[in-house]
Structure 1
Amino acid sequence: MRTVFVLFCVLAAASSGALQQNDTFYDARFTRDTMRIDYFHTGGPDARETVSLDRVVNDGPWAGSRTQLVDPTGLGHYRFEARDTASGALLYTRGFSSVYGEWETTAERKTAYRTFHESLRLPWPRQPISILLEKRQGDGSFATVWSTEIDPTSRFVNRAPLAHPAARVWPVIESGAPAEKVDVLIIAEGYTAAEMPKFRRDVQRLLPSLFAEEPFKSRRSDFNVRALELPATESGVNRPNAGLFRRTPVSTEYNIFDSERYVLTLDNRALREAASAAPYEFIEILVNENTYGGGGIFNAQATASVDSAFSAYVFVHEFGHHFAALADEYYTSDVAYEIGAPPKVEPWEPNVTALHDPAHVKWADLVTPGTPVPTPWDKAAFEAHTRGIQERRRAIRARNAPEREMDALFREQMEWALTFLRSMKYSGRVGAFEGAAYEARGLYRPEADCLMFTRDPVGFCRVCRRAISRIIDLYAK
Structure 2
Amino acid sequence: MKNKHYILLAVAAMMSMSAAAQRFEDYFQDKTLRIDYIFSGTATTQHIALEQMYVEPRWFGKRQRLAEVPVEGNGQITVRDHKTQRVIYRNSFSTLFQEWQEEPEAQHLEKSFENVYLVPMPKDTVDITVDLRNNRRQISSHLTHTVAPSDILIAHLGKKHVTPYVVLQQAQDTTHCIHLAYLAEGYRTEEMKTFVDDARMSMETLFSYEPFKSNRQFFNVVAVESPSQESGASEPGKGIWKNTALHSHWDTNYSERYLTTGHLKDMHDWLAGTPYEHIIALVNSTRYGGGGFYNGYLLASIHNQYAKPVVVHEFGHSFAGLADEYAYDDETVDIYPLDVEPWEKNITTKVDFRGKWENLIGKDKKAGFYEGAGYKPKGVYRAYYDCRMRTNQNPDFCPACRQAIQQLIDFYVK
TM over 0.5: yes
Which string of whole-angstrom CA distances, capped at 9 and with x for unpartnered residues, describes residues 230-287 of structure 1? 1111211111112221011111211111111111111011011112231111000000
Q: Verify: 1:148 aligned to 2:128, yes or no.
A: no
The one-letter amino acid of 1:441's match is: K
For the pair 1:366 / 2:360, whether they are aligned, the reply is yes
Cα pair 1:329 1:445 within 8 Å, conserved: yes
The 4+ residue runs of structure 1 with deviation greater than 6 A are none
Cα deviation 1:97-131 (Å, max 9, x = unaligned): 01111111111110101001112211000111111
My pick for the range that moved more, 304-313 or 149-158, is 149-158
Contact 2:71 2:321 in 1 (8 A): no
Picking from 39, 59, 65, the partner of 2:56 is 59
* CA 1:29–1:195: 2 relative to 1, 3 Å: same
Spell out the pairing of 1:216-231 with structure 2 (5 A cutoff).
Answer: 216-231=212-227
The alignment-based identity, stated in percent, is: 31
How far apart are the structure 2 equivalents of 1:144 and 1:244?
36
Q: Is the 8 A contact 2:341 2:352 kept in 1?
A: no
Structure 1 residues 330 and 37: alpha-carbon distance in aligned structure 2, compared to 1, 3 A threshold: same
What are the equivalent positions in structure 2 for 1:220-369 lying under 5 Å apart? 220-332=216-328, 338-339=333-334, 342-356=337-351, 362-369=356-363
- The answer on whether the counterparts of 1:452 and 1:460 sit within 8 Å (CA) in structure 2 is yes
Partner of 1:392: none
For the residue of structure 1 that corresponds to 2:300, the secondary structure is: strand
For the Cα contact (< 8 Å) 1:449–1:458, is it kept in 2? no
Alignment correspondent of 2:368: 431
Contact 1:342 1:441 in 2 (8 A): no
Query: So what's the TM-score if we normalise by structure 2?
Result: 0.92
Residue ranges of structure 2 left out of the alignment (5+ in a row): none
Q: Is the 8 A contact 1:62 1:179 kept in 2?
A: no
Distance 1:149 1:370, change over 3 A: closer
CA contact (8 A) 1:9 1:141 kept: no
Cross-structure match for 1:185: 181
CA distance in 2, matches of 1:149, 1:171: 36
Given the alignment, which residue of 81, 96, 103 partners 1:84?
81
Distance 2:294 2:330 in 1: 21
Structure 2 counterpart SS, 1:179? coil
Question: How many Å apart are 1:143 and its aligned residue?
Answer: 4.7
For 1:330 and 1:444, locate their aligned partners in 2 and report how far apart those are by CA, in whole Å: 10
Alpha-carbon distance between aligned partners in 2 of 1:476 and 1:289, rounded to the nearest angstrom: 34
Residue 294 of structure 1 and its aligned partner are, at CA, apart by 0.7
Match in the other structure for 1:122: 119
> CA 1:138 to 1:329, structure 2 compared with 1: closer, same or farther past 3 Å?
closer
Maintained 8 Å contact 2:133/2:141: no
State which structure, 1 or 2, has the greater radius of gyration over its C-alpha atoms: 1
The amino acid of 1:461's aligned partner reads C
Letter in 2 for 1:215: P
Matched, 1:37 2:35: yes
**Match for 1:57: what amino acid?**
Y
Q: What is aligned with 1:169?
A: 165
Q: CA deviation digits over 1:59-94, x for unaligned, max 9? A: 341001222312242320001210011111111001
The alignment status of 1:471 with 2:408, answered yes or no, reads yes
Of 69, 74, 94, the residue aligned with 1:97 is 94
Which structure is higher in RCO with an 8 Å CA cutoff and minimum separation 6?
1
CA distance in 2, matches of 1:333, 1:277: 46
Cα distance between partner residues in 2 of 1:434 and 1:32:
47
Paired residue type of 2:96? V
Higher helix content, 1 or 2: 1
Q: TM-score, normalised by structure 1?
A: 0.81
